[in-house]
Amino acid sequence: MSSDHQLNLKNVDPGLYNEDLAPLESKNRTWGSFEIFNVWANDVQSLFGYTLAASLFISYGLNGWAVMAAIILAAIVIMYLCNLAGQPSVKYGIPSPVLARVSMGVKGANFPALTRGVVAMFWYGVQTYFAATAVTLLLGSLFNVQSTQTYLGMTAISWFSYVLVWAFQLLMFMRGISWITRFLNWAGPFVYFVMIALMIMIWIQAGDQMLPAVSNIFKGSGSYEGGPVMAFFAAMGTMIAYFAAVVINFGDFSRNVKDDRSLKLGNWLGLPGNVALFSFIALFVTAGTVVVFGEELTNPAEIIERVDNLFLTVVAATCFFAATVGINLVANFIPSAFGLANLFPSKVNFKVGGLITAFISFFIGALWVVLISRIGIDGFVNTLGAILAPVYGIMMVDYYLLKKQELVVQDLFTYDTDGAYYYDNGWNRKALQAFAIAAVFAIGTVWVPALSALAGFGWVIGAALGGVSYFFLMSGEQKTVVHKKKIA
């Protein structure tokens, strides 16, 4: 291994280093393609993921085959973006906040890390609340528990469920990444088992009317105002927007992978393959609800309630709990913990960052019903997500085109003014300028009505603008790292 890939602990700066941010050695990387597949399985198979997939078949009036094509094409786009984002962390074993130091500067990297952390905290609290609703359903079905008196919009049983889910997630996190991995590896296949069982039960009840109902959905109504072409891109953009939050911090997961081949195989199975199969199940269940219940139902909890089968309700409620906790750990807890650890490495490690995340998120979820859901949080969170889009483009252009995939690991952990990533007092002003140029457009897709049609593609376009702007701004600079000889 090249000396540039190694870290001399004698020369690291405490303000940039702790054991959780340090490069993960090859011998400690235990993930293969199956683990990466389950990262995506848990991301897709949440309550919201199912509802989104099912609604795409009926919201845009498209031919069913066109919807499937849009969904799969979106998954392929995300797959390639994640292959790009994940490869540096596979090669060097570093999490995404540390990789951001390469282009943003050793101090400038705190900006995207903090922004991603704030987004994750909000969604972590909200997802904890929704996971608790599954536990409430489970307890109500098993013990016939009923409660009408509420506090902050939740009944006593709802509060009990909420605290239980919050504590369970925190326990899983405190046990470390190995326990999280075990949970994800169990939850992914389990959710598939339940969804297939639900599809079979609906099909049995629908009988020979099932296939004609599916055929009707595949015909499409052509009701989308912008026409079929715009409907196709709108469906595709919606799926891209759904997965985009995980892209920028994908290195937090890929650093655990043994090799690049396992990463790419896991992404292929977990995105195009997994999304296609799960969407296929969502399509058949949605079609079946038209026959059985007389209306198109896209909320799986409502479907289970209508089926009125105690065994299925118990299994499904457990499934919804597992799926929602899985996506919470993947998309929210881990990136927030790493982001906070990157801010104050000498004082905040991965677990302390997780405790801070859990504490703040507890109040966000607790206030969801009575306050946050009513004032509207979508614009705020989507704006923060749009802010991150240019950062991804800048990071990828810098690593692949300017640094030629070669990093000086030692310089990622030092404030030495001669370090390759110190730039201007720890900030790369060229990267900040490129970010500002692209962020205006990305944020505009959230707030400017004229750009609302591009909302789904705002992230991708923002990332592309950020990367292109950065490349040209850096054209007058040295485009490759001059490797410095380190003296132990």
Domain extent listing, the chain:
29-377
Quick check: 299 pLDDT over 80? no
Q: What pLDDT is recorded for position 452?
A: 75
Name, in order, each residue with C-beta under 8 angstroms of 416's C-beta and a sequence gap of 6 or more. Answer: 422
Residue-wise pLDDT for 189-244, tens only, equals: 877 787 888 888 888 888 899 888 888 877 766 556 666 777 788 788 878 877 88
Crossing angle of helices 96-104 and 378-397, rounded to 10° = 70
* Rounded average pLDDT over 114-124: 85
Q: What's 31's DSSP letter?
A: B
**Judging by beta carbons within 10 Å of its beta carbon (0-12, 13-18, 19+), is residue 484 exposed, middle or buried?**
middle
CATH of 29-377, one of 1.10.4160.10, 3.40.50.620, 1.10.20.140, 3.40.50.11540: 1.10.4160.10
Residue-wise pLDDT for 266-292, tens only, equals: 999 999 988 888 888 888 888 888 888
Quick check: 485 pLDDT over 70? no
Residue-wise pLDDT for 17-41, tens only, equals: 999 999 999 888 999 999 999 888 8
Q: How far apart are CA 306 and CA 290, in angstroms?
A: 12
pTM: 0.85
- Listed residue (386, 383, 399) closest to 470, CA to CA: 399
**Judging by beta carbons within 10 Å of its beta carbon (0-12, 13-18, 19+), is residue 38 exposed, middle or buried?**
buried
Read off the tokens for 418: 């001669």
> Count of CB atoms within 10 A of residue 44's CB?
27
Q: What's 408's DSSP letter?
A: -
**Judging by beta carbons within 10 Å of its beta carbon (0-12, 13-18, 19+), is residue 363 exposed, middle or buried?**
exposed
Task: For the chain, give the percent of residues with pLDDT over 90.
Answer: 33
Enclosing H/E stretch for 268: helix 260-268
* Block residue for tokens 């989507």: 382
* Rounded average pLDDT over 313-327: 79
Q: How far apart are CA 183 and CA 42, in angstroms?
A: 10
Q: How far apart are CA 11 and CA 487, in angstroms?
A: 9
Q: For residue 43, which amino acid is it?
A: D
The SS3 assignment for 80 reads helix
Q: What pLDDT is recorded for position 2?
A: 45
Name, in order, each residue with C-beta under 8 angstroms of 368's C-beta and a sequence gap of 6 or more. Answer: 125, 126, 129, 153
Q: What pLDDT is recorded for position 376?
A: 63
Q: How far apart are CA 341 and CA 351, in angstroms?
A: 9
Q: What pLDDT is recorded for position 381?
A: 64
Read off the tokens for 193: 């088992």
Quick check: 488 pLDDT over 60? no
CB–CB of 100/266 below 8 Å?
no
